[in-house]
C-alpha cells in the first residue's frame, strides 16, 4: 500500500507575517527549533517561505568581498567603502521577511505518494514542501519527515512494496 503525504506530514505549521523583521524571524526560528517558516501576507495567505539560509545569505551578500577581485586596489577600496555605507544605511531600516523570503511556494496534495514527493524535493533541491487539501495548506513535509520513512519499519516496508 502506497504511503501518502498526509501520513508523514507535520500538521502544525508556524507561519510568520511578511512584515516581521529579519531579526524577529531569526529569534522565532531559533525559539521554535525550526529552520524555516511559511510567510503570510496581510490576509493570511501564504506568499513564500523564509529560512535560516535566507538570513545567512542576506548577511553574507552584504559583506562579501570576492566581487572586488578584478578591480584595482583603489576601486576595491571605494567598493568596500560604498558597500559599508549601504550596509550601514540598511541597518537603520529594518529588513523585513518579505525582503529575504523565497516567494515561490511548492505544494503537493495530501493524497500524493511519498515517492513522488521525494522526486520533487530532490529535483527542486527542497528541504520542505507544503501539503494541501482543497487548495488549503494543511501541513508541511520536511527532510526530517522523509527520514521517518527510514526509521519506521512499517512505513519502510510499505514503500518497498510499491
Per-residue pLDDT of 10-45, as tens digits, reads 998 888 999 999 989 999 999 998 888 899 899 888
From the CB of residue 129, how many other CB atoms can be counted at a distance below 10 Å? 25
- With 0-12 / 13-18 / 19 or more C-beta atoms within 10 angstroms meaning exposed / middle / buried, residue 123 is exposed
What is the pLDDT, as a whole number, of residue 74?
83
Cell for 42?
A: 496581510
What is the pLDDT, as a whole number, of residue 141?
94
- 5-56+96-160 homologous superfamily: CBS-domain (3.10.580.10)
What is the pLDDT, as a whole number, of residue 69?
60
Cell for 59?
A: 548577511
What is the pLDDT, as a whole number, of residue 67?
54
In whole angstroms, give the CA distance from residue 150 to residue 162.
Answer: 15
What is the pLDDT, as a whole number, of residue 66?
55
- For the chain, give every domain's residue range: 5-56+96-160
Instruction: Spell out the per-residue pLDDT of the chain, length 162, in tens.
Output: 789 999 999 998 888 999 999 989 999 999 998 888 899 899 888 899 999 988 888 876 655 555 556 777 888 788 777 777 766 665 666 789 999 999 877 899 999 999 999 999 999 999 899 998 887 889 999 999 999 888 888 888 887 776
In whole angstroms, give the CA distance from residue 49 to residue 37.
Answer: 6
In whole angstroms, give the CA distance from residue 83 to residue 78.
Answer: 9
pTM over 0.85: no
Amino acid at each position: 500500500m502506497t504511503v501518502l503525504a498526509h501520513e508523514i506530514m507535520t500538521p502544525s505549521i508556524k507561519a510568520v507575517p511578511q512584515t516581521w523583521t529579519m531579526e524577529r524571524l531569526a529569534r522565532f526560528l531559533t525559539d521554535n527549533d525550526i529552520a524555516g517558516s511559511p510567510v503570510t501576507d496581510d490576509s493570511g495567505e501564504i506568499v513564500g517561505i523564509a529560512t535560516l539560509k535566507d538570513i545567512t545569505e542576506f548577511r553574507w551578500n552584504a559583506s562579501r568581498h570576492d566581487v572586488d577581485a578584478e578591480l584595482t586596489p583603489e576601486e576595491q577600496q571605494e567598493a568596500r567603502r560604498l558597500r559599508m555605507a549601504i550596509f550601514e544605511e540598511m541597518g537603520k531600516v529594518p529588513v523585513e521577511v518579505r525582503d529575504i523570503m523565497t516567494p515561490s511556494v511548492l505544494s503537493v496534495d495530501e493524497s500524493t505518494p511519498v515517492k513522488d514527493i521525494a522526486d520533487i524535493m530532490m529535483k527542486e533541491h527542497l528541504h520542505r514542501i507544503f501539503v494541501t487539501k482543497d487548495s488549503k495548506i494543511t501541513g508541511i513535509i520536511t527532510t526530517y519527515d522523509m527520514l521517518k520513512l527510514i526509521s519506521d519499519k512499517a512505513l519502510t516496508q510499505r514503500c518497498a512494496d510499491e
